[in-house]
């Protein structure tokens, strides 16, 4: 079953839970796409002097028809004039393998029957009731040897025409009475909590005053009187304010002093050293979002190889006696878990050289602020850093690798449990640098005591402390590291050759694509020199490409100074990931386009708007 809510009704349900009756789903109710129709009503005088009204129906094209079994459909249209005593139907030609067919066919219907009068001066004829006539257009997929599939329909009353010509795009509608035989009461109900928000986004110059006010926040004393702090307080959900605030301050190099200021305020309200930065304050949320943005590549180079090994070659690691299955060997499981934890731990503690400079600067500030607040506690300087880098960064990434783009999909149940145990162990090991020896042997779960005996050696505690010292020090970081490009994404896709004809598989070449923070390149093979390079600053837009352009799915286009680069991904998920990655890295480009062409320029015209000038302004607004 399904629940359908009209857009104009969403505001009636926002902010509260509602029960919705499930409606049946079938081919008659699930439609998409639109049709371009032109209608005209003419009055004619026949050769014998009688009066005849003629309806002219010009079906031009359709757009966005659904895929049938994953492939473009073979659509055709039936055009009917329907009334109380008539049902005249005509049919277009079948268009092969396209979701955006170009019909351009005209059909003629006699609306007023010819009368028996023969004198040209007589115009009072016996007419049909135009008020009851309607034009109906049905879209179908040609099934050849199987039954044709209904794609949608539209109905237009003839009375709206009179003697005028009228054309418009019509959204295809479900077939009426298609579901009346279904028992909707048997399908049940669905409870939804809907949050619907409409934002009016103005040009950037309208926000200049607010932007300047927010950027001055770190200089305001006290920090609680600053615009950024007040903004976070008035928002119902702190996340709504924190994420854009961090991005703004990060872009203008104002994040470190602001985090230091709000962290100092946070520490003033902290009474015990062992609870520093454990709450969900503005300071902790800012650091969390900063690590997700800045530390993405750091996580990838540090954890992805070992996470891949755990997910692709899983070993049983359950050591909780309550959750052990029949036939499990707890000793073997414990050894497997020790192997994984030791490998993840070693990768982390020797990764300090890869830690981004901005993260080190923030950790440096937090460490010294905590030591200043609790001068008699020598361990608080470590807990101030470990509470972020271990508890909120590495441990979270281990337990949820899909969220941090370390894995393409969520792991299965057994692997997910293994990652949870590893994450718990990493949290515990990360806290050892800030604990006294008397606290190292205390565990909430008894079965973990035996497991951690192997790790209760001085070398593990010292490794944690050395790592925390390294990532919270600014002295060891090279300034030149800031100019090194960050590797963001790579993979094999297909590129369309420029300047070729529309037909031919050779037009699409398999290439290795690589995206960094500096440039977007493609290579003949992995580890080969780039064939073509687009500087990130030159990318004007990244948008999906209509399937009708080359009759291929999962295509997108990269618009830059030259001709568009058309790329086909291996699947829809991969295409979305590439579009998202490219949009993120080019979001701040100054010359981004506002309009683009959703289809390709082929055979002397744009398929989307039929414009014949190749460098004309786009016909659709950019989505990102």
Q: Are 513 and 491 in contact (CB under 8 A)?
A: yes
Dihedral, 31, 619, 597, 30 alpha carbons, nearest 10 = 0
What number is the average pLDDT over the span 102-120?
69
DSSP 8-state class, residue 105: E
624 band by pLDDT with thresholds 50, 70 and 90: low
Across the chain, mean pLDDT equals 83
pLDDT band at 622 (very low <50, low <70, confident <90, very high): confident
- Cβ-count burial of 320 within 10 angstroms (0-12 exposed, 13-18 middle, 19+ buried)? middle
Element (H, E) at 418: helix 413-431
Q: What is the pLDDT of residues 271-303, one digit of tens each?
A: 888 888 888 889 999 999 999 988 888 898 899
Per-residue model confidence (pLDDT) at position 129: 67
Alpha helical stretches, state H, 501-589: 572-586
pLDDT of residue 116: 41
Q: What is the mean pLDDT of residues 253-273?
A: 91
The pLDDT tens digits of the residues spanning 575-621 come to 888 998 898 888 777 788 889 999 998 888 888 888 988 888 889 98
Among residues 113, 116, 108, the alpha carbon closest in space to that of 49 is found at 116
Distance CA 467, CA 390 (A): 11
Separation CA 470–CA 484 (nearest Å)? 20
Angstrom distance (rounded) from CA 603 to CA 499: 10
pTM value is: 0.59
Q: Please tell me the distance from the alpha carbon of residue 145 to that of residue 155, in angstroms, as a whole number.
A: 29
- Residue 159's pLDDT is 80
Q: Measuring CA to CA, which residue among 31, 59, 103, 63 is closest to residue 546?
A: 63
Which of 235-239, 300-304, 391-395, 615-619 is predicted least confidently? 235-239
For residue 519, is pLDDT > 70? yes
Q: Inform me whether the pLDDT recorded for 124 exceeds 80.
A: no
C-alpha to C-alpha distances, 89 to 77, 86, 92, 107, nearest whole angstrom = 10, 10, 10, 10
State pLDDT tens for residues 138-193. 999 988 777 888 889 999 988 877 666 788 899 988 877 554 444 555 788 899 99
pLDDT tens figures, 39-79: 988 877 777 777 777 889 999 999 888 877 767 789 999 99
Q: Is the pLDDT confidence value at 574 over 70?
A: yes
Please, what is the angle between helix 296-312 and helix 413-431, to 10°?
130
Tell me the domains of the chain and their CATH numbers: 34-181 (2.60.40.150), 212-482 (1.10.506.10), 485-621 (2.30.29.30)
Percent of the chain with pLDDT over 70: 88
What phi and psi values does residue 605 have, to the nearest 5 degrees?
Answer: -155, 160
What's the pLDDT score for residue 501? Answer: 47
pLDDT of amino acid 266: 92
For the cut 80, the answer to whether the pLDDT of residue 481 exceeds it is no
> What distance, in Å, lies between the first and last C-alpha atoms of the chain?
33
CB atoms near residue 292 (< 10 Å) = 18
- The HSE-up count of residue 278 (CA atoms within 13 Å, CB side) is 10
**Cα separation of 467 and 351, whole Å?**
8
Q: Please report, rounded to a whole number, the percentage of residues in the chain having pLDDT higher than 90.
A: 34
């Amino acid at each position: 079953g399904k629940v359908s809510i009209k857009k104009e009704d969403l505001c009636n349900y926002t902010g509260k839970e509602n029960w919705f009756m499930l409606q049946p789903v079938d081919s008659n109710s699930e439609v998409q796409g639109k049709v371009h129709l032109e209608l005209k009503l003419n009055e004619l005088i026949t050769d014998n002097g009688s009066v005849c009204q003629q309806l002219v129906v010009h079906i031009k094209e359709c757009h966005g028809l659904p895929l049938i079994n994953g492939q473009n459909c073979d659509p055709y249209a039936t055009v009917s004039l329907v009334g109380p005593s008539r049902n005249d139907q005509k049919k277009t030609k079948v268009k092969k393998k396209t979701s955006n067919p170009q019909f351009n066919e005209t059909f003629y219907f006699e609306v007023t029957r010819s009368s028996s009068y023969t004198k040209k001066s007589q115009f009072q004829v016996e007419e049909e009731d135009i008020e009851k006539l309607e034009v109906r257009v049905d879209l179908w997929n040609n099934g050849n040897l199987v039954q044709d599939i209904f794609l949608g329909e539209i109905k237009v009353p003839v009375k709206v025409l009179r003697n005028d010509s009228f054309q418009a795009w019509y959204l295809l509608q479900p077939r009426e009475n298609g579901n009346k035989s279904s028992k909707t009461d048997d399908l049940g109900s669905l409870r939804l909590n809907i949050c619907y928000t409409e934002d009016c986004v103005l040009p950037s110059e309208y926000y200049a005053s607010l932007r300047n006010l927010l950027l001055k926040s770190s200089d305001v004393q006290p920090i609680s009187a600053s615009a950024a702090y007040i903004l976070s307080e008035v928002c119902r959900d702190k996340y709504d304010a924190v994420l854009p605030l961090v991005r703004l301050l990060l872009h203008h190099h104002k994040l470190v002093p602001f985090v230091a200021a709000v962290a100092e305020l946070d520490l003033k309200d902290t009474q015990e050293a062992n609870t520093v930065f454990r709450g969900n304050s503005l300071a902790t949320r800012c650091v969390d979002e900063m690590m997700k943005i800045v530390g993405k590549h750091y996580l990838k180079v540090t954890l992805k190889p070992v996470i891949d090994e755990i997910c692709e070659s899983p070993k049983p690691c359950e050591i909780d006696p309550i959750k052990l299955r029949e036939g499990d060997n707890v000793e073997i499981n414990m050894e497997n878990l020790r192997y994984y934890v030791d490998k993840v731990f070693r990768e982390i503690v020797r990764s300090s050289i890869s830690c981004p400079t901005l993260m080190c600067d923030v950790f440096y500030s937090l460490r010294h602020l905590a030591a200043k607040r609790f001068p008699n506690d020598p361990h608080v300087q470590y807990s101030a850093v470990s509470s972020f880098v271990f508890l909120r960064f590495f441990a979270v990434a281990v337990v949820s690798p899909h969220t941090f783009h370390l894995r393409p999909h969520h792991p299965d149940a057994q692997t997910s449990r293994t990652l949870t145990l590893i994450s718990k162990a990493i949290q515990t090991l990360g806290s050892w640098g800030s604990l006294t020896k008397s606290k190292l042997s205390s565990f909430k779960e008894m079965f973990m005591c035996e497991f951690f005996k192997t790790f209760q050696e001085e070398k593990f505690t010292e490794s944690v402390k050395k790592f925390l010292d390294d990532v919270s020090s600014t002295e060891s970081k090279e300034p030149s590291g800031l100019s090194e490009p960050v590797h963001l994404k790579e993979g094999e896709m297909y590129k369309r050759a420029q300047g070729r004809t529309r037909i031919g598989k050779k037009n699409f070449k398999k290439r290795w694509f690589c995206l960094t923070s500096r440039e977007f390149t493609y290579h003949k093979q992995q580890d080969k020199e780039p064939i073509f390079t687009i500087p990130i600053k030159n990318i004007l837009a990244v948008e999906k490409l209509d399937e009708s352009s080359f009759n291929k799915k999962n295509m997108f286009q990269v618009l830059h100074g030259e001709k568009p680069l058309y790329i086909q991904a291996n699947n829809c998920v991969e295409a979305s990931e590439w579009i998202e990655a490219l949009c993120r890295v080019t979001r701040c480009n100054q010359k981004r386009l506002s309009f683009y062409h959703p289809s390709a320029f082929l055979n002397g015209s744009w398929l989307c708007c039929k414009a014949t000038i190749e460098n004309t302004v786009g016909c659709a607004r950019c989505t990102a």
